[in-house]
């Protein structure tokens, strides 16, 4: 998923720890103004747990959700696309899903969380992990991949229980519209439920307002529908 390098990021944004995959995991936790609400995971891009991902978590918290963004890289943040690609390749899909399942455990254990299931919102690499996680984790009831590509073999979607709302760019060379259509058909055929995949007049990473690819109108439309989707399914 080539992209021009962005400005150097600060170290990974962490403010919480939790048990996951037999170890202590780190992440960023954001609470809503009321202090309580439905639980949502935010899954990082291939850059790491950056300021942008923490900002997304804060924005969702302002909408009334309890949000946890797990740090899948253990504190590392990429500073250019070559480093990000290497770090993403060094994270096996199975390990990422294991860490995210632990994050679901932790999120649902919090007394501030009012929902019995969680939503999962992810971007780029994290968008793919949203789908990998939802395929095996029935406690994910609302899955929102933003331009999420799947690496290697597709998961078995026959156990998918989540409703899926996906956001993709028509001009995304790494995940072209035909690939999005094929993925939607695979999910529909295996799970019996058609995902709502939406295309926008934008390229890859159009939601990230810290990248040259940011497309404000598409980002605003995708955000509005995502918040409404999460509220409808999580309460």
**Which residues in the chain land under pLDDT 70?**
1-10
Question: According to the model, what pLDDT value does residue 2 have?
Answer: 39
pLDDT of 8 reads: 43
Judge contact between 84 and 47, C-beta under 8 A: yes
CB atoms within 10 A of CB 5: 15
Residues designated catalytic: 124, 172, 204
CB-CB neighbours of 58 under 10 Å: 17
CB 119 within 8 A of CB 41: yes
The structure's pTM equals: 0.94
**204 close to 213: Cβ distance less than 8 angstroms:** yes
| Per-residue buried b or exposed e for 189-212, using 16+ beta carbons within 10 Å of the residue's own CB | ebbeeebebebbebbbbbbbeebe
User: In the chain, where do the E strands start and end?
Assistant: 16-20, 23-30, 37-43, 66-70, 113-123, 140-146, 163-169, 196-200
Residue 46 CA to residue 127 CA, distance in Å, equals: 10
Give the pairing of strands 37-43 and 66-70.
parallel
Q: What is the pLDDT of residue 149?
A: 85
Side-by-side strand order, sheet with 66-70:
16-20, 23-30, 66-70, 37-43, 113-123, 140-146, 163-169, 196-200
Other beta carbons less than 10 A from residue 35's beta carbon = 9
């Amino acid at each position: 998923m080539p992209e021009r390098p962005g400005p150097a990021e600060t170290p990974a944004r962490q403010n919480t720890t939790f048990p996951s995959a037999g170890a202590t995991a780190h992440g960023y936790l954001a609470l809503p103004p009321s202090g309580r609400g439905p639980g949502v995971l935010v899954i990082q891009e291939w850059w790491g747990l950056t300021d942008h991902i923490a900002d997304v978590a804060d924005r969702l918290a302002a909408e009334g959700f309890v949000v946890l963004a797990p740090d899948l890289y253990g504190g590392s943040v990429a500073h250019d696309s070559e480093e990000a690609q290497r770090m993403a390749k060094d994270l096996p899909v199975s390990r990422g899903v294991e860490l995210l399942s632990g994050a679901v455990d932790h999120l649902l254990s919090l007394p501030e969380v009012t929902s019995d299931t969680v939503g999962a919102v992810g971007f780029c690499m994290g968008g793919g992990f949203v789908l990998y996680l939802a395929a095996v984790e029935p406690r994910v009831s609302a899955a929102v991949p933003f331009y999420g590509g799947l690496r290697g073999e597709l998961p078995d979607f026959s156990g998918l229980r989540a409703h899926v709302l996906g956001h993709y760019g028509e001009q995304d060379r790494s995940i072209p519209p035909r690939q999005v259509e094929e993925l939607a058909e695979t999910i529909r055929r295996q799970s019996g439920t058609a995902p709502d995949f939406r295309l926008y007049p934008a390229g890859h990473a159009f939601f990230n307002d810290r990248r040259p690819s940011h497309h404000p109108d598409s980002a605003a439309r995708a955000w509005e529908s995502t918040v409404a989707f999460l509220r409808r399914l999580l309460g």
